[in-house]
Amino acid sequence: MNTLLLALIRALRRHGWLRFLGFAYILSSLGNGLTQVIVFSTLLHWQASPATLTLVYLLSMVPSFIGSLWGETLCKHVSPLRILILTELLGLLALAFPLWGVLWHNIPALLAVQSLEALLSGMSYPALTLLFKRGLHHDELPAATAMETLIFAAHVLLGTGLGVLLFDVMSPLHLLAIDALSFAASAVLLLASASVFQVLTCHPEEKATVMQKRFWPTLSPLQKRSVMLLPALAAVGSPAMALLPALAQEVRPEDPASLALPLLFARSLGQLCGPLMLDARKMQRYGANNRLWLVCLGGFIGGYFLLPLSAGSLWAGLVIIFSAHVASNMVFALGTFGVLKHFPEDQVARASAMTWRSQVMTAAFFTGITSVIANNLSAFTALYSMSLLSLGGVGVLLWVYSASTTD
């Protein structure tokens, strides 16, 4: 089976710039994960209010909306690799805020770094998509999806995992020093990637005509479907993901932490493994299969619905959540591939930025409604109502933008 992992290995062997980029973003993601652990752990140590912790979650997501607008604009005038190098250097400078916060017990400074990291993530996403489109052959695009999966895994498994293990062993200042080294090394590796990067596809003559038109009305039904599917996934997935700690609390009220933390790890592991199981040669066929999308999303929701039946059993809960996120992130990989596949080079940065903004706002909206229902009724009531509602909406979306429509 020609999995995404094998496709990535072949692309890494063929492209030196991709090897440098991969190492750079593994280090950068490790640093981002460490920053997040420092911020959350420090706030918990200071016994920050629940409102403050909720604000941290929102600030780690919403500013990326603005960042994606900036990234989309920069991609029209600046090389995507230069944008990525810029975001790494700005990320390094942003570490002054957690340093300030830790030394002077300043909570707003800790909140500021979360906002800046979200802003920089939004800036880098369109540039990264454009870079993959320019630097990879048409049949190598599945490798880009695998690379994005590994970058995400580095953030969660390496950055967050290492941060949790080291927080009680090392001081926050030492962790910040490791964090700074990761950003600096990432910038150096991106410079090395820029020195060997070769553009494989570039059609500047098409840009002037495309940019003069309104974007959305000019898209084909298949392109509109590609843009809308990842926000649809955010609508289905964000209520369940936001509620996971609260669900663990209801399943095992006597000791929720002993269930919640392993479930969060199982969730991350499933998110990593799901995309890598797909057959790279069949990505376009999978992406056009409405039934597969609904089965995967239904399996994701069904896994969370089964969590109460685990009766607090750790191993049963781990299998359920791992399987649920294998299914959901297969859908995520297909949606990411769809944007790369169905948009030409001069539109892909704009399309990916639009997709990113839609995901952020959809996740924020559905998470907000879910929190209100959970606070007033129960976590499981919120999960059942919002998940079924969003799954029905995705079904309608898939029917309206039928996969049988071609460019």
Same domain membership, residue 396 and residue 359: yes
Q: Is residue 209 part of a domain?
A: no
139: CATH: 1.20.1250.20
Same domain membership, residue 354 and residue 236: yes
Q: Is residue 208 part of a domain?
A: no
> Minimal CA–CA distance to 114: which of 43, 24, 50?
43
Structure tokens at 301: 């929701």
Same domain membership, residue 116 and residue 224: no
Question: Tokens 């669900």 correspond to what residue?
Answer: 247
Integer angstrom CA distances of residue 374 from 1, 243, 312: 43, 8, 20
**Is the CB of residue 120 less than 8 Å from the CB of residue 95?**
no
How many separate domains does the chain show? 2
What DSSP character marks residue 155? I
Same domain membership, residue 293 and residue 405: yes
Residue 35 has pLDDT above 90, yes or no: no
Same domain membership, residue 65 and residue 174: yes
pLDDT in tens, 245-267: 677 777 777 766 577 667 877 88
Read off the pLDDT of each residue in 233-241 and give the average, rounded to a whole number: 86
Q: Is residue 380 part of a domain?
A: yes
Query: What percent of the chain is predicted at pLDDT more than 90?
Result: 27
> How far is 104 from 89, CA to CA, in rounded Å?
24
Residue at which a domain ends, from 173, 202, 231: 202
Same domain membership, residue 280 and residue 247: yes
What DSSP character marks residue 310? G
pLDDT in tens, 360-387: 888 888 888 887 888 788 878 888 898 8
> How far is 175 from 227, CA to CA, in rounded Å?
38
Residue at which a domain ends, from 202, 226, 244: 202
Structure tokens at 204: 């500047």
**Is the CB of residue 360 less than 8 Å from the CB of residue 306?**
no
Whole-number pLDDT of residue 306: 87
Same domain membership, residue 286 and residue 163: no
Whole-number pLDDT of residue 278: 84
The 10 Å Cβ neighbour count of residue 116 is: 21
Q: Is residue 111 part of a domain?
A: yes
Q: Is residue 232 part of a domain?
A: yes
> How far is 214 from 59, CA to CA, in rounded Å?
31
pLDDT in tens, 266-321: 887 888 888 878 888 888 888 778 888 889 999 999 998 888 777 667 888 889 99
Q: Is 3 exposed, middle or buried (0-12, 13-18, 19+ CB in 10 A)?
A: middle
Beta bridge partners of 279: 3
Whole-number pLDDT of residue 254: 73
**Is the CB of residue 83 less than 8 Å from the CB of residue 70?**
no
Same domain membership, residue 143 and residue 99: yes
Q: Is residue 251 part of a domain?
A: yes
Q: What is the pLDDT confidence band of residue 75, given thresholds at 50, 70 and 90?
A: very high
Whole-number pLDDT of residue 94: 94
Residue at which a domain ends, from 142, 176, 202: 202
Same domain membership, residue 351 and residue 289: yes
Same domain membership, residue 196 and residue 231: no
Same domain membership, residue 5 and residue 44: yes
Q: Is residue 207 part of a domain?
A: no
Q: Is residue 373 part of a domain?
A: yes
pLDDT in tens, 312-348: 678 888 899 999 999 988 888 888 888 888 888 888 8
Domain residues for the domain of 394 are 218-407
> How far is 339 from 297, CA to CA, in rounded Å?
19
The 10 Å Cβ neighbour count of residue 23 is: 16
> Minimal CA–CA distance to 117: which of 44, 199, 39?
39
Same domain membership, residue 378 and residue 255: yes
> Minimal CA–CA distance to 31: which of 113, 111, 101?
113
Q: Which pTM does this prediction carry?
A: 0.81
C-beta pairs of 382-385 under 8 Å, 24+ apart in sequence: 382/239, 382/243, 383/239, 383/240, 383/243, 383/247, 383/304, 383/305, 384/305
HEC profile of 313-382: CHHHHHHHHHHHHHHHHHHHHHHHHHHHHHCCHHHHHHHHHHHHHHHHHHHHHHHHHHHHHHHHCCHHHH
Lowest mean pLDDT among 45-54, 151-160, 202-211: 202-211
Q: At what angle do helices 50-59 and 16-45 cross, to 10 degrees?
A: 160
